Amino acid sequence: MKKYFLIAALVTGLLILSLSSVQASDPGFKFGYIDLQKVMALSSQGGVAKGKMQAKQEELRAELQTKQAEISVMKEELERQGMMLSPEKRQEKENEYQKMVRDFKIFVSDSEKDMKALEGEFLKKMLKELEVVTAEFGKSGKYHLILEKRSGIIYADESQDISDELIKAYNNWVENNQKKEKK
């Protein structure tokens, strides 16, 4: 695994070096890179996604707390009344308590899966949109190449970072598409 990462990093580094020399010899060659995480975090759509994720997380957290409280009440009740109950009733209560605990664990697991699925859904949608916006941005800006910072770039001059411009372009694209959808 480390070997493949090293090879990918080396190839990317050589690519950037060769592109730098091409750009130096051909002033018409233009390239830049973006920090995809920054673009996704600071764009308007990233804010919307983050807000929806937090709302869902709060909803699930409230439900988890309610279920935890129910389990605690059941446990206290079982401990308080345990000695006074007949063996059959006690076993019935213990089974009910264990079922609540199992259901709680399943709910926690399902909640985590739901959150990951929701995050994946937002990520997929944004990546698809960013692909379109980056292509439009690259064409209009006459870029020959746009790279993603975390996909093997070891070093690049910060003057080549076009993340902020892409965020603006993405926000404008989203705004224009929302206007079109409302019409």
The tokens of 108 are what? 């926690």
Give residue 36's identity as a one-letter amino acid code: L
Which pLDDT tens digit goes with each residue over 74-98? 889 888 887 788 888 888 889 999 9
Backbone torsions φ then ψ of 35, nearest 5 degrees = -100, 100
Give residue 150's identity as a one-letter amino acid code: R
Long-range contacts of the stretch 92-96 (C-beta < 8 A, 24+): none
- Helix then strand count (H, E) for the chain reads 5, 2
CA 124 to chain centroid, in Å, comes to: 9
Which pLDDT tens digit goes with each residue over 28-71? 788 898 999 999 999 999 999 999 999 999 999 999 999 999 99
CATH class of 2-182: alpha beta
Confidence label for 170 from pLDDT (cuts 50, 70 and 90): very high
CB 38 within 8 A of CB 153: no
Q: Give the residue from 5, 24, 27, 4 showing the smallest Cα distance to 16.
A: 24
Whether pTM > 0.75 for this model: the answer is: no
